[in-house]
């Protein structure tokens, strides 16, 4: 039992808070209490200063009040964004049991720690660029491991120490994980830095972590060789850190790909800026960059892949020729190119949508966006198959060979989801009628009760002679009959007063309370059943996350190649002879 600053005993709630805060001392703790995330002590003072919140106090037993600041759960994303943009870490502590059935203090756990490099919420991400979290294992050579938590991309790379700054800049990481002592000059400006213990950077631990994470017996099938030991050391620390940030894991994380130094050009940050590859020298002149000139991609995945390609130009002649061949096919077949680009138009961010669904952070509209994107896959494949001269391109043939229509997942999402689901579960119907008998039954009970209550107004007006009587509802008092004070003398004796207003009285009757109970119970049961069905949809996506990522990468590649062809045809660029 802990003692507070005033010498008294901390309340059970504060004891729980302090225990969780001790485990996350380096983060601002968003402590869920009903519809608010509350912050206490120094966290509250920081939040009040940085977010402009009102600093209040909470009684903590005796005379020991503690500073308190809070934000609504529904508005939390914006507050988290502002804190993270200022360099703070935010630990999200949720209620992990139902307060209605909890005995004593509701159990709470930190389910996610948000840092600049560990972001999943759509509002915190830039759609056109990856959000890489990068680990650097110093040495000769130096190891790099990068993860974009939002898309699931996982990259390993080994580089010479003299090329480290350029290699890091290519990822444009939001956060770098390394041991203490790494020179600041090796990191891009305004990049968050997280230091870890040296023992975490161990190649053997990295190999074991990857095998454990992906349920592999060995790394033999991942194109990882002895030369990649430094990258495995970086991966060890990175995966350890990610486990801390995301205790529930990352089911959307893809198996690591290895980036070979000989395959792509290393461009240092100064050269990249002077050439204005992806960033203008003068803010606001985005059209002057090479990215601005070439980017007519149709999808967010395509935009990010184009950026990656521009920052890592190919060096190997066979790969360069293969890319030119693919662009040439798309230039020569203008109608086929238009069909492909039209089919891609409207495909949403499959990589990030899948990540949110797999980690159970998706909204009903995210699921609908995934469904609508998957429904476009047959059109994309038809356009790809119909390209004249496609057999001249090894890259296009390879894409066609791995293209996956995911018919069972598309069919389930289409059959189950309403045409236009609500932004939040419970604000409307997410699951179609006819999908689940239990859900249909509860909805019928709910709607029948509401229909009865709607008709009650006309019946009570006729019975009492009060023409202005009306039936209403609010969350505090439930359903009620409202009568103006001028007609109070006409109110029947069996009406029970529920609330007094300035110009009216609100009443209930036994009949109204009976139907209110039926309606509210049916609404609760319908919502719970709908939540179960949505969870089943999320599980179906998670089971196929690797397949969705594969087709998302294929779509991104087609998108960038078609964009190159579109710009080439429009600007009359010369092709390879």
Where residue 36 sits, what CATH number does that domain have?
3.40.1170.10
**114 vs 268: which has the higher pLDDT:** 114
Residue 295 inside a domain? The answer is no
Tokens 């496609």 found at? 390
| CA 43/CA 49 separation, integer angstroms | 10
Flag whether pLDDT at 438 surpasses 90: yes
Same domain, 181 and 243: yes
More confident residue, 251 or 235: 235
pLDDT over 90 at 234, yes or no:
yes
In this prediction, residue 577 has a pLDDT band, given cuts at 50, 70 and 90, of very low
Reported as a single tens digit per residue, the pLDDT across 486-512 is: 999 999 999 999 999 999 999 999 988
The SS3 of residue 193 is strand
Residue 104 DSSP code: S
b/e map of 254-281 (b: 16 or more CB within 10 Å)?
bbbebbebeebebbebeebeeebbbeee
Check: CB of residue 176 under 8 Å from CB of residue 136. Answer: yes
Distance CA 15, CA 18 (A): 5
Pair (142, 252) in one structural domain: yes
pLDDT at 564: 97
Q: Which long-range contacts (CB under 8 A, 24 or more apart) does 126-129 make?
A: 127/300, 127/303, 127/304, 127/349, 128/300, 128/303, 128/304, 128/307, 129/172, 129/303, 129/304, 129/307
Whether residue 257 sits in one domain with residue 128? yes
Q: What is the pLDDT at residue 158?
A: 95
Q: Concatenated DSSP letters for 456-470?
A: HHHHHHHHH--TT-E
Cα(180)–Cα(194) distance, integer angstroms? 9
pLDDT for the residue numbered 262: 86
Asked whether 417 and 368 are in contact (CB, 8 A), the reply is yes
List the one residue out of 189, 191, 182 whose CA is nearest residue 164: 182
Taking the C-alpha atoms of residue 188 and residue 166, their distance in angstroms, rounded to an integer, is 9
Give me the mean pLDDT over the 110-131 stretch: 90
Query: 479: Cβ–Cβ under 8 A, 6 or more apart, which residues?
Result: 453, 471, 472, 473, 508, 512, 515, 516, 519
Strands 108-114 and 90-95: antiparallel
Confidence of residue 185 (pLDDT cuts 50, 70, 90): low
Query: Looking at the 3D structure of the chain, how many domains does it have?
Result: 3
Give the dihedral sign, CA 70/74/76/79.
Answer: negative
- 217 and 194: one domain? yes
Alpha-carbon distance of 24 to 113, in angstroms, equals 9
Q: Taking all residues of the chain, what is their mean pLDDT, rounded to a whole number? A: 91
The total number of residues shown for the chain amounts to: 577
Inside any domain, residue 199:
yes
Residues 53 and 138 in one domain: no
- Return the residue matching tokens 């194109």: 223
| Higher-pLDDT residue of 390, 282 | 390
CATH number of the domain at 449, please: 1.10.1420.10
Residues 342-368: b if buried by 16+ CB within 10 A, e if exposed: ebbeebbbbbbbbbbbbbeebbbebbb
Looking at the structure, tell me whether residues 188 and 131 fall in a common domain.
yes
226 located within any domain: yes
Task: Report, as an integer, the average pLDDT of 295-303.
Answer: 96
The pTM (predicted TM-score) of the whole model is 0.86
Look at residue 367 and tell me whether its pLDDT is greater than 80.
Answer: yes
- Which domain-ending residue is among 114, 145, 162? 114
Residue 385 counted as domain residue: no
Residue 5 has pLDDT above 60, yes or no: no
Domain boundary among 261, 292, 316: 261
- Residue 142 and residue 97 share a domain: no
Q: Are 254 and 129 part of one and the same domain?
A: yes
Dihedrals φ, ψ of 190, to 5°? 60, 30
Range scoring the smallest mean pLDDT among 56-70, 91-105, 147-161, 226-240: 56-70
DSSP string covering 508-547, please?
Answer: E-HHHHHHHHHHHHHHHHHHHHHHHHHHHHHHHHHHTHHH
pLDDT greater than 70 at residue 548: yes
Residues 519, 468, single domain; the answer is yes
Q: Which of 61-65, 76-80, 184-188, 468-472 comes out lowest in average pLDDT?
A: 61-65
In this predicted structure, what is the pLDDT of residue 287? 77
Of the three residues 533, 548, 570, the one that is the final residue of a domain is 533
Q: What is the DSSP letter of 268?
A: -
- Pick 153 or 169 by higher pLDDT: 153
Q: Are residues 231 and 188 in the same domain?
A: yes
Domain shared by 179 and 242, yes or no: yes
Model confidence at 474, in pLDDT bands (50, 70, 90)?
Answer: confident
In a domain, 448, yes or no: yes
pLDDT at 63: 46
Query: Do 143 and 236 belong together in one domain?
Result: yes
Q: How far apart are CA 173 and CA 395, in angstroms?
A: 29
Is the pLDDT confidence value at 65 over 70? yes
CATH code of residue 254: 3.30.420.110
Residue 59 domain-assigned (yes or no)? yes
Per-residue 3-state assignment (H helix, E strand, C coil) for 288-348 = HCHHHHHCCCCCHHHHHHHHHHHHCCECCHHHHHHHHHHHHHHHHCHHHHHHHHHHHCCCC
Half-sphere exposure of 274 (CA within 13 A, CB side): 5
384 within a domain of the structure (yes/no):
no
E strands, 8-167, where?
28-33, 36-40, 56-59, 65-72, 90-95, 108-114, 132-137, 142-148, 153-159
Tens digit of each residue's pLDDT (9 = 90 or more) over 302-356: 999 999 999 999 999 999 999 999 999 999 999 999 999 999 999 999 999 999 9
The CA–CA distances, whole Å, from 267 to 183, 275, 283, 355, 399 equal 19, 10, 21, 30, 28
Whether 576 has a pLDDT exceeding 60, the answer reads no
- Over the stretch 439-464, which tens digit does the pLDDT of each residue have? 999 998 888 888 888 888 999 999 99
Cβ atoms of 479 and 473 within 8 Å: the answer is: yes
The yes-or-no verdict on residue 231 having pLDDT over 90 is: yes
Distance CA 165, CA 283 (A): 23
Q: In angstroms, what CA-CA distances link 1 with 16, 20, 353, 420?
A: 10, 15, 44, 51
**pLDDT tens digits for range 80-110:** 999 998 889 999 999 988 877 778 889 999 9
Kindly state whether residue 33 falls inside one of the protein's structural domains.
yes
The single-letter DSSP state of residue 118 is B
Domain housing 101 = 12-114
Per-residue pLDDT of 376-428, as tens digits, reads 999 999 999 999 989 999 999 999 999 999 999 999 999 999 999 999 998 89
């Amino acid at each position: 039992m802990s003692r507070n600053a005033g010498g008294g005993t901390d309340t059970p709630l504060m004891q729980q808070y302090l225990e969780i805060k001790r485990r996350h001392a380096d983060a601002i703790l968003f402590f869920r209490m009903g519809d608010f995330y509350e912050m206490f002590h120094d966290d509250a003072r920081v939040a009040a200063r940085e977010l402009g919140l009102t600093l209040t106090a909470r009684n903590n037993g005796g005379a020991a009040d503690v500073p308190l600041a809070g934000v609504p759960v529904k508005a939390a994303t914006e507050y988290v964004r502002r804190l993270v943009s200022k360099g703070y870490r935010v630990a999200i502590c949720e209620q992990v049991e139902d307060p209605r059935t909890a005995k004593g203090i509701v159990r709470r756990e930190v389910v996610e720690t948000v840092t600049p490099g560990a972001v999943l919420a759509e509002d915190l991400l830039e759609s056109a660029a990856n959000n890489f979290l990068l680990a650097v294992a110093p040495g000769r050579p130096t190891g790099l491991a990068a993860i974009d938590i939002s898309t699931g991309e996982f990259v390993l790379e080994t580089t010479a120490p003299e090329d480290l700054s350029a290699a890091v800049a290519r990822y444009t990481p939001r956060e770098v994980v390394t041991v203490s002592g790494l020179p600041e000059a090796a990191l891009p400006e305004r990049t968050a830095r997280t230091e870890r213990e040296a023992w975490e950077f161990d190649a053997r631990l990295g190999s074991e972590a990857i095998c454990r994470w992906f349920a592999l017996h060995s790394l033999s099938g991942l194109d990882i060789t002895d030369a990649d030991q430094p990258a495995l050391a970086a991966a060890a620390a990175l995966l350890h850190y990610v486990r801390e940030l995301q205790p529930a894991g990352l089911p959307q994380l893809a198996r690591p790909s290895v980036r070979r130094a000989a395959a792509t050009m290393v461009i240092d940050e100064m050269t990249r800026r002077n050439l204005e590859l992806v960033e203008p020298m003068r803010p606001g002149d985005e059209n002057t960059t090479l990215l601005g000139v070439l980017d007519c991609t149709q999808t967010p995945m395509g935009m990010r892949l184009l950026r990656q390609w521009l920052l890592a130009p190919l060096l190997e002649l066979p790969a360069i020729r293969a890319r030119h061949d693919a662009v040439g096919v798309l230039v020569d077949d203008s109608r086929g190119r238009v069909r492909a680009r039209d089919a891609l138009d409207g495909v949403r961010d499959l990589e990030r949508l899948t990540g949110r669904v797999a980690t159970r952070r998706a909204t009903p509209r995210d699921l609908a966006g995934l469904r609508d994107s998957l429904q476009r896959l047959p059109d994309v494949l038809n356009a790809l198959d119909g390209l004249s001269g496609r057999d001249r391109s090894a890259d296009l043939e390879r894409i066609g060979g791995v293209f996956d229509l995911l018919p069972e997942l598309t069919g389930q999402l289409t059959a189950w989801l309403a045409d236009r689901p609500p932004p939040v579960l419970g604000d409307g119907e997410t699951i179609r009628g006819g999908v689940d008998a239990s859900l249909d039954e509860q909805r019928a009970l709910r709607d029948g009760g509401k229909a009865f209550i709607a008709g009650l107004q006309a019946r009570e007006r006729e019975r009492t002679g009060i023409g202005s009587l009306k039936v209403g509802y609010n969350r505090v008092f439930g359903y009620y009959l409202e009568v103006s004070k001028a007609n109070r003398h006409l109110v029947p004796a069996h009406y029970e007063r529920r609330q007094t207003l300035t110009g009216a009285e609100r009443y209930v009757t036994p009949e109204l309370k009976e139907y209110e109970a039926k309606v509210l119970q049916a609404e609760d049961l319908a919502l719970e059943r709908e939540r179960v069905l949505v969870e089943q949809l999320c599980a179906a996506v998670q089971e196929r996350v690797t397949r969705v990522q594969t087709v998302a990468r294929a779509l991104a590649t087609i998108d960038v190649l078609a964009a190159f062809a579109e710009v080439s045809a429009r600007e009359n660029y010369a092709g390879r002879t």
